[in-house]
Structure 1
Amino acid sequence: MTKNDGWSRTRTKYIAQNGYQILLDKDQLTQKLKTPTYSAFLTQKPTEEEYLELINDFWWDTTYVAKGLWRDELYFAKFMLDSVSRFHYLQKMVEWYIGVQYDWKVNPNKHGRWFKRYLDEETWIELESTFVGSNIEDNWTALFGMADLFTKLSAKVGQSLGYTYPSKVEEKIREYLLQVRRLDRC
């Protein structure tokens, strides 16, 4: 780090945010490094726009799960439930919920790796129950369980940040999901 260019300053800042431990420094080259903050991977507070967009996207994409389940298109329904709804929307909301619980000072790690570590037992069990196999009825139950959990976490995150939860969107989509579930199959 003898260069004093922009890259060196940026790299030094990143190293401090990411964290480090000096094992050996015979030439005292690390003395100018900033004290590590370990903040590079902390969950960031969402803006109100990000919060509302995530909620809206989650609810609208649940309609695809319902249609896939009703049509007996298991592969598509599982993709929308497990990949899109779970890993794009629910995962982010769980991260924000953990951020709220721990004053935005923890890292839940990649892809929910440490969710169990940071969630209370009841919430973990609710999350765990959204994982199901190939049975269509089990997937309907998982969809509504995921929706309930998403609502619970979203409301708490929103309340903590002073954002209003868009309950009208949820009400209308839930009504639609229930209608699709009750439809007779031709």
Structure 2
Amino acid sequence: MIFENGELVVPRLLDWVRARPDVRAVLRTGSRARGEADAWSDHDIELYSTDPEPYRRSDWPADLGPVLASVGLDGPWDNPARLVVFDGGQKIDFQIVPVDRLALLAEELDELHERGYEILLDLDGAAARLPAASGSGPEGELPDEQEFREHCEEFWFELAHIPRYVARGDLWVAKSRDWETKELLLTMVEWHALSHFGPDHDTWHNGIRMREWAAPGVWERMDALFTGFAPEDILHTASATGALFADLARDVAHRHGFTYPEAASRAFATE
């Protein structure tokens, strides 16, 4: 097993890279680059190549070792990306990036690299020109009143479907709609935190570290939002989700002089 533990990933990966003349630099991002990794952290690896296109094939990770699972994606720069779990449990998320992008990063770091990066290989000195990372995330953006109102109405529109699907016995669909409401709630949790702490407050992404960045009292209410598959459980969590959303949205509206669309909440009824 080529990737037996986290300590062996980088040297063995670089041995493989040095046999590939198209790869001119290797960067690592994510928690390992920031020195915040734990035993479950994966490796976020960027290979800067003069010819990224061949990496759209699915077979090349096997050159590194036995592969258990491999998922191909398009990366954020229209580049090949591959997420791989190797035998032994190590997970590596690869981005294969055109080497010319290093020149753009040297002018200004993007949000990902601003949080932190580590140079693992720099054959041509291009990565050495990158500015130091600040370690901070991007400044948060609060909505204007129209975006706020439309977001609230979308939330209550989605929540209104849940009792109907429960009544029909379509519990899978009800749970799917429930998750839609959770994603809309997450945005409101972020806006609420920014309203309390200011635009420099780091709300990360996808709910990561919410326990740390949410405003006081919010995290403690999350437990009620996730229960079982029984109809009464689904309705209970829907009600709890709606109550939390309404409380946060009203507070955001108050702080920014918006009008909260009270009528929209009447779309959700469990009776």
TM-score tier, shorter chain, comes to: 0.7 to 0.9
**Letter aligned with residue 267 of structure 2:** I
Alignment of 1:32-47 (within 5 A): 33=131, 36=134, 38-40=136-138, 42-47=139-144
Alignment of 1:1-186 (within 5 A): 8=103, 12-15=107-110, 18-20=114-116, 33=131, 36=134, 38-40=136-138, 42-81=139-178, 83-87=179-183, 89-120=184-215, 122-170=217-265, 172-174=266-268, 177=269, 181-182=270-271
1:3 aligns with none
**Letter aligned with residue 200 of structure 2:** K
Q: Distance in 2 between matches of 1:21 and 1:159?
A: 39
The alpha-carbon deviation at position 15 of structure 1 amounts to 4.3
Greater shift in the superposed pair: 102-111 or 117-126: 117-126
The alpha-carbon deviation at position 20 of structure 1 amounts to 4.9
Name structure 1 gaps, 5 residues minimum. Answer: 1-6
Task: Give runs of ≥4 in structure 1 deviating > 6 Å.
Answer: 29-32
TM-score, length-normalised on structure 2? 0.53
**Letter aligned with residue 86 of structure 1:** K
The alpha-carbon deviation at position 110 of structure 1 amounts to 2.0
Q: Deviations over 1:68-98 (max 9, x none)?
A: 11111110000000x21102x1010011111
Helix, strand or coil at the partner of 1:43: coil
Task: Pick closer, same or farther for the CA change 1:21–1:166 going to 2, 3 Å.
Answer: same
Residues 107 and 130 in structure 2, CA contact (< 8 A), matched pair in contact too: no
Query: Could you say which structure has the higher helix fraction?
Result: 1
Helix, strand or coil at the partner of 2:206: helix
Q: Deviations over 1:125-169 (max 9, x none)?
A: 222211111111011111111101000000111111211111122
Residues 19 and 38 in structure 1, CA contact (< 8 A), matched pair in contact too: yes
Task: Pick closer, same or farther for the CA change 1:140–1:11 going to 2, 3 Å.
Answer: farther
Task: Pick closer, same or farther for the CA change 1:19–1:61 going to 2, 3 Å.
Answer: closer
Helix, strand or coil at the partner of 2:141: coil
Q: Name the larger-Rg structure.
A: 2
Helix, strand or coil at the partner of 2:188: helix
Greater shift in the superposed pair: 47-56 or 147-156: 47-56
Helix, strand or coil at the partner of 2:225: coil
The alpha-carbon deviation at position 47 of structure 1 amounts to 1.7
Greater shift in the superposed pair: 31-40 or 141-150: 31-40
TM-score, length-normalised on structure 1? 0.75
Identical aligned pairs, as a percentage?
Answer: 18
**Aligned positions, number:** 167
Query: Could you say which structure has the higher strand fraction?
Result: 2
Q: Distance in 2 between matches of 1:32 and 1:68?
A: 53
Residues 132 and 142 in structure 1, CA contact (< 8 A), matched pair in contact too: yes
Q: Distance in 2 between matches of 1:103 and 1:59?
A: 27
Greater shift in the superposed pair: 119-128 or 157-166: 119-128
The alpha-carbon deviation at position 32 of structure 1 amounts to 9.0
Residues 13 and 34 in structure 1, CA contact (< 8 A), matched pair in contact too: no
Q: Distance in 1 between matches of 2:132 and 2:216?
A: 38
**Letter aligned with residue 75 of structure 1:** W
Residues 15 and 36 in structure 1, CA contact (< 8 A), matched pair in contact too: no
